[in-house]
Amino acid sequence: MYDIKALYEARSVADAIRLLQEHPRAQIIAGGSDVLVQIREGRRAGVELVSIFGIDAMRGVGYDDEGGIRIGSLTSFSHIAASPVIKDKIPVLGEAVSLVGGPQIRNIGTIGGNTCNGVTSADSASTLLAWDAVVELTGPEGVRRLPIRDFYIKAGVVDLKPAELQTAIIIPKVSYEGYFGHYIKYAMREAMDIANLGCSVNVALTDDKKAIRDARIAYGVAGPVPMRAPSAEAAAKGRAVCRETVDAFARAVLCDIHPRDSWRAAKAFREHIAVEMARRALTESIRLAGGVIDE
């Protein structure tokens, strides 16, 4: 038995908002693979829960009116990975979420939960950041949208107002069209492990595939929240597709990231692999985009 004081089950988004207003101290529970584990560990003893698990309208992947990819916040990792839309337009997101935990966790874990918990190591977060995803939040005042980089405030804290919930994550058309990306997770085990460092890169090449039109890179565990590396992006943008560009891009990440020492890995080690991961992820992204790096 879980140490739960009360459970309120929402049937719709409006229902969830009403329940959250009526029970301001209640914690939202989606798939529960974080919340239930925390309760089991005694960290949320006597908690009140508003369960949004039953809101099927918040599940699924499709296109919005502007051609953006709309992912319902309750969509499980395995359903994201299996989605034809994701496979077609942004396969790297499917690959990234396929590295979360193990198969059973990927069936219950949701992309909304993975971002709302504000955890830097979330395998979906760096890729969403690197693709300029937009978060849709629904609350008593209505719907608002904000870039995911503004959604993260500090470790474990995201910009969710009282009685507000995240209802979708959107990848706008301008963010994915023409881009190709690759994600690398560095962890001790190949399953059921948390990233020591995660690195997601994507590029758009010029029509002749000789130069980098745009490059984007984001890390998980390189700081208290998932972050972009703007110096690295500037070092690659507009440059020729060649080994020197890739090396300059990789070296520049050290201007942006500030990982810490933890029992999982030392700061110096994280910095070392951050450069190598940037190099490899950009190299692979260029290859996927049809570019050839002259050696």
Partner 1 sequence: MSKQYKLIHCTINGKPREVMVDVRASLTDLLRNDFRLTSVKKGCEVGECGACNVLIDGECFNSCIYLAVWADGKDILTLEGLEGPNGEISDIQQAFIDEAAVQCGFCTPGAIMSAVEILNEGRELSDEEIRIRMSGHLCRCTGYENIFRAVKKTMLKRLEAKKAQ
Instruction: Provide the Cα torsion 128, 224, 193, 159; round to 10°.
Output: -50
Q: Using the minimum distance from each CB to partner 1, give the nearer residue, 36 or 234.
A: 36
Instruction: Work out how close the CB of 194 gets to partner 1 at its nearest, in angstroms, rounded to a whole number.
Output: 12
Instruction: Show Cβ contacts of residue 258 under 8 Å, excluding neighbours closer than 6 positions.
Output: 222, 223
Tokens representing 83 are 């989605």
User: Should residue 110 be labelled a site residue for partner 1 when binding is judged by CB under 8 A?
Assistant: no
Contact residue for partner 1 among 41, 65, 88, 295 (CB under 8 A): 41
Contact residue for partner 1 among 10, 16, 26, 51 (CB under 8 A): 51
Q: Is the dihedral of CA 101, 105, 108, 113 positive or negative?
A: negative
Contact residue for partner 1 among 23, 53, 237, 271 (CB under 8 A): 53
Contact residue for partner 1 among 57, 63, 104, 174 (CB under 8 A): 104
Applying the rule CB under 8 A, the residues between 175 and 204 that interact with partner 1 are 190-192
CA distance 228 to 224: 12
User: Should residue 103 be labelled a site residue for partner 1 when binding is judged by CB under 8 A?
Assistant: yes
CA distance 71 to 112: 9
User: Should residue 37 be labelled a site residue for partner 1 when binding is judged by CB under 8 A?
Assistant: yes
User: Should residue 288 be labelled a site residue for partner 1 when binding is judged by CB under 8 A?
Assistant: no
Q: Using the minimum distance from each CB to partner 1, give the nearer residue, 87 or 213.
A: 87
Q: Using the minimum distance from each CB to partner 1, give the nearer residue, 53 or 269.
A: 53
Tokens representing 11 are 């049937």
Instruction: Work out how close the CB of 7 gets to partner 1 at its nearest, in angstroms, rounded to a whole number.
Output: 4
Instruction: Work out how close the CB of 6 gets to partner 1 at its nearest, in angstroms, rounded to a whole number.
Output: 6
Q: Using the minimum distance from each CB to partner 1, give the nearer residue, 86 or 227.
A: 86
Phi, psi dihedrals of residue 286, rounded to the nearest 5°: -65, -40
User: Should residue 36 be labelled a site residue for partner 1 when binding is judged by CB under 8 A?
Assistant: yes
Applying the rule CB under 8 A, the residues between 61 and 100 that interact with partner 1 are 78
Residues that bind partner 1 (rule: CB under 8 A) add up to a total of 29
Interface residues toward partner 1, by CB under 8 A = 1-7, 9, 29, 32-33, 36-37, 40-41, 51, 53-54, 78, 101-105, 107-108, 190-192
